[in-house]
Amino acid sequence: MLDIYRQTRLDEVARIGVRLEAETGVPAALLVAQWAVESQWGERPVGNANYFGMKRAARHTKCCTATTHEVTKGKRDRFNLEFADYDTLEESCRDYAWLISNGAPYRKAWQQYLVDKKASHLLTAIAGVYATDTLYAKLLQQIAGQGNVVQAIAKARM
């Protein structure tokens, strides 16, 4: 059972995810699962409000430097990197949805998703690019299928 604060955060991101799914096509379950992993269920955004661990890109007007862990050749290393930053959860979610549906690294996976609408395949393809951890896709699949996530998204669709 989730504590009340975690449930409140989950319900909020599920509402945003469902709204963005209607606008962009990015599955709410994918957005919520990556939010949960990247920010520890909304408890630890990078900077002010980067809930997806998105690195800084030319489109970002705000940024921050943070220590992160990357897995390279099976070895976990620490790096200080520049990350995007946002004022709100909504802005962070909106940029994430833009990245998945428009970003060059995800173009092939996104185009395939538009044809077959298989969210689990999209999630797996994106995970292989998004993170260096080889178990990342499995973790996202588990979270996306958790009862509390499924219920929060269903509630947000009502």
| Domains of the chain listed by start with CATH number | 4-44+88-157 (1.10.530.10)
The pLDDT tens digits of the residues spanning 21-42 come to: 999 999 999 999 999 999 999 9
Q: Mind listing the pLDDT tens digit for each residue in 80-112?
A: 889 999 999 999 999 999 999 999 999 999 999
Do residues 59 and 21 touch, judged by C-beta distance below 8 A? no
List the Cα angle 78/103/130 in 5-degree steps: 30
Q: What is the pTM of this model?
A: 0.91
Residue owning tokens 């995810």: 17
